[in-house]
A and B are shown apart, each in its own frame.
Chain A
């Protein structure tokens, strides 16, 4: 897809330099460099346990790196006031928790936290942001329903509405399509593409489906061995060699008849036509 930069486009630039992150003795990322251009959609791909979530959590400073730094517009995110950062950069984690019985409108309203003061007084701006987030995700009809009662696809849209209500120019999403059926996956990705195109929101997401990642992203970042194995447009990153090195999988790359981009066709041990 293409990115139409417009006046509301994000101008915030996120960059990681020489990141080294681990849990205790275990090193997950080492010497990772990454640059996220404003107004683009970036997908992070990599094998299970390759550190994709760790990278997102470090970019949004949930984790402190042992080495290197994360810079937002040249400032280290680890030295920014936490609410100030949360007004620029939003995160949808891999497994968020919805409190018992909470309604959709209430959950989406939680996204306003970084915009509110200590003894919070709700403002008209808060209501407007929530309404806008509900409309953008087509969840306005669900506003009064308890989140526990929704389908997986609806719930995921509600969580996306929650981070939209945060009104950040940068959005990090960890596996926003996992556990969704294919039509709901497309629905979520179309929604994110709309946000990127219409508001210029910079999007960084972790995706497992290489073909959808290729189609919906301006750039792919392939992680391997705690570093960036390759980064760039899907057509440059998704090579048979890359799939082999990053996922340990043999594959063929053909043209996606729908988007014209690359399409990965995995080659397993079975069901392979001779010739």
Chain B
């Protein structure tokens, strides 16, 4: 069973003994796992810290004791309303929606092997947002029906992009260009809907255009939370298959991955996550787009990006919402802050890909 090698087959430097190689392989794998645990650990601690801060900070400051008291159902003077009714659902939705956008974004980016292919760039978020705005403004329906509208629209946009771009190969630039076009159309549709709305409400308008956590209550949090609890495990179950897909469809299939089935399950789960989050707080600008690349930078090539991206998405939304509320004189919705962060990165990616495309 031992493979004998001709001397010409070596790289010049002596190859380690088989035992040495095994130690090296095991060491490298443990190193990757340590890095992973470290990154995920640090991100989790940061999420918990910012989450706690966003419950304490505000017009009135409440200390950890008061906040914990409210969280565990005690009646704390003043804090019960401010923390329990205003801050807690808002912070929980920030966590849940951030995770949804992070997971949905990185799934698309991984599957299509292009950071530009995230749902908020290629029109899926805009579709979900336009549908949610339509449900509320035109049809006057709310609750789960609003989420259902957003989901159907998100899947519809995904299918439409697929059909319009399937000639150029699914991973092609064509898909991204078609998606950007569709996103523009859908955003102007949202604009139109908002301009037709009877009572013009700037906060509501900004929610559907850039995303906002203002005035959210538990009735918006719950459907999104349920979606995350159902769909995140579905995606995580595909994590090894998605990893193999990054080697190319043929290689993945050769490794026993059912490529089309993996794609279908992943797209439906990712669109579901993005649509539910969008139905609750609008398409918080660029969170889906930014989370995966930031997570990849932090983690390096050390395994699946799903969990780190979910944590980065959560952190982005929590921090951006705090910044939007308190760091600047005027209060800005969270999506305006993430939009300011994401736009330069989008430009950078477009310029870089254009350069790569031009030289190869």
Interface residues of A (CB under 8 A from B): 8, 57, 60-62, 82-87, 90-103, 105-107, 109-111, 113-114, 116, 118-120, 122, 127-128, 130-132, 134-144, 146, 154, 163, 166, 183, 186-187, 190-191, 194-195, 198-199
Residue of chain A at shortest CB distance from B171: A97
Encode B1-26 as 1/0 by CB contact (under 8 A) with A: 11111101111010110101110111
* Given A82-B256, A113-B244, A135-B3; A187-B25 close (CB under 8 Å): no
| Interface residue B28 (Cβ < 8 Å from any Cβ of A) | yes
Residue from A105, A110, A190 within 8 A of B255 (CB atoms): A110
* Given A85-B256, A97-B248, A136-B3; A141-B16 close (CB under 8 Å): yes
The complex places the Cα of A245 from the Cα of B16 at a distance, in Å, of: 49
The complex places the Cα of A194 from the Cα of B4 at a distance, in Å, of: 7
| Interface residue B188 (Cβ < 8 Å from any Cβ of A) | no
* Given A93-B248, A131-B22, A143-B21; A106-B8 close (CB under 8 Å): no
The complex places the Cα of A239 from the Cα of B226 at a distance, in Å, of: 69
In order of increasing CB-CB distance, the 9 nearest A-B pairs are A86-B256, A91-B254, A93-B250, A97-B248, A83-B256, A114-B256, A136-B3, A131-B22, A131-B21
* Given A106-B301, A118-B240; A98-B258 close (CB under 8 Å): no
Q: Smallest distance from the beta carbon of A8 to chain B beta carbons, Å?
A: 6
**Sample (18) of A-B pairs whose CB atoms are under 8 Å apart:** A61-B253, A91-B253, A91-B254, A92-B251, A106-B28, A113-B240, A113-B257, A127-B22, A127-B26, A131-B22, A131-B24, A135-B15, A142-B11, A143-B25, A191-B9, A194-B5, A194-B6, A195-B3
The complex places the Cα of A211 from the Cα of B67 at a distance, in Å, of: 78
B-chain residues with CB within 8 Å of residue A191 when the two chains form the complex: 5, 9
Q: B255 to A198, Cβ gap below 8 A?
A: no
| Interface residue B263 (Cβ < 8 Å from any Cβ of A) | no
| Interface residue B300 (Cβ < 8 Å from any Cβ of A) | yes
Q: B301 to A99, Cβ gap below 8 A?
A: yes
Scoring A119, A131, A195 by chain B CB atoms within 10 A of each residue's CB, the highest score goes to A131
A-chain residues with CB within 8 Å of residue B15 when the two chains form the complex: 135, 138, 140-141
Number of chain B interface residues as a range: 35 or more
A-chain residues with CB within 8 Å of residue B113 when the two chains form the complex: 97
Q: Smallest distance from the beta carbon of B166 to chain A beta carbons, Å?
A: 12
B-chain residues with CB within 8 Å of residue A94 when the two chains form the complex: 250
| Interface residue B32 (Cβ < 8 Å from any Cβ of A) | yes
Q: Smallest distance from the beta carbon of A152 to chain B beta carbons, Å?
A: 14
**Number of residue pairs spanning A and B whose beta carbons lie under 8 angstroms apart:** 153
B-chain residues with CB within 8 Å of residue A99 when the two chains form the complex: 246-247, 301
| Interface residue B243 (Cβ < 8 Å from any Cβ of A) | yes
The complex places the Cα of A137 from the Cα of B258 at a distance, in Å, of: 28
Residue from A84, A103, A186 within 8 A of B301 (CB atoms): A103
| Interface residue B237 (Cβ < 8 Å from any Cβ of A) | yes
Residue of chain A at shortest CB distance from B296: A100
The complex places the Cα of A94 from the Cα of B250 at a distance, in Å, of: 9
Q: Smallest distance from the beta carbon of A85 to chain B beta carbons, Å?
A: 7
Interface residues of B (CB under 8 A from A): 1-6, 8-11, 13, 15-16, 18, 20-22, 24-26, 28-29, 32, 113, 236-237, 240, 243-244, 246-251, 253-258, 296, 300-302
A-chain residues with CB within 8 Å of residue B300 when the two chains form the complex: 101
Q: A60 to B1, Cβ gap below 8 A?
A: no
Other than A61-B253, A118-B240, A120-B240, give 5 A-B pairs with Cβ distance below 8 A: A60-B253, A110-B255, A140-B16, A140-B24, A194-B5
Q: Smallest distance from the beta carbon of A56 to chain B beta carbons, Å?
A: 9
Q: A194 to B28, Cβ gap below 8 A?
A: no
The complex places the Cα of A111 from the Cα of B25 at a distance, in Å, of: 14
Q: Smallest distance from the beta carbon of A140 to chain B beta carbons, Å?
A: 4
The complex places the Cα of A195 from the Cα of B2 at a distance, in Å, of: 9
The complex places the Cα of A88 from the Cα of B148 at a distance, in Å, of: 44
* Given A118-B237, A131-B25, A194-B5; A82-B250 close (CB under 8 Å): no
Q: B256 to A113, Cβ gap below 8 A?
A: yes
A-chain residues with CB within 8 Å of residue B256 when the two chains form the complex: 82-87, 113-114
Residue of chain B at shortest CB distance from A108: B25
Q: B10 to A97, Cβ gap below 8 A?
A: no
Residue of chain A at shortest CB distance from B28: A105
Q: B29 to A109, Cβ gap below 8 A?
A: yes
A-chain residues with CB within 8 Å of residue B10 when the two chains form the complex: 138
B-chain residues with CB within 8 Å of residue A101 when the two chains form the complex: 300-301
Q: Smallest distance from the beta carbon of B206 to chain A beta carbons, Å?
A: 36
Q: Smallest distance from the beta carbon of A242 to chain B beta carbons, Å?
A: 29
Residue from B6, B13, B251 within 8 A of A97 (CB atoms): B251
Q: B248 to A95, Cβ gap below 8 A?
A: yes
The complex places the Cα of A166 from the Cα of B300 at a distance, in Å, of: 24
Q: Smallest distance from the beta carbon of B278 to chain A beta carbons, Å?
A: 29
Q: A91 to B3, Cβ gap below 8 A?
A: no
Residue of chain A at shortest CB distance from B253: A62
The complex places the Cα of A132 from the Cα of B3 at a distance, in Å, of: 9
Q: A103 to B255, Cβ gap below 8 A?
A: no
Residue of chain B at shortest CB distance from A154: B11
Residue of chain A at shortest CB distance from B303: A106
Q: A141 to B28, Cβ gap below 8 A?
A: no
The complex places the Cα of A87 from the Cα of B255 at a distance, in Å, of: 8
Residue from B18, B248, B251, B257 within 8 A of A82 (CB atoms): B257
Q: B22 to A110, Cβ gap below 8 A?
A: no
Q: Smallest distance from the beta carbon of A119 to chain B beta carbons, Å?
A: 8
Q: B18 to A111, Cβ gap below 8 A?
A: no
* Given A82-B257, A91-B254, A191-B9; A199-B3 close (CB under 8 Å): yes
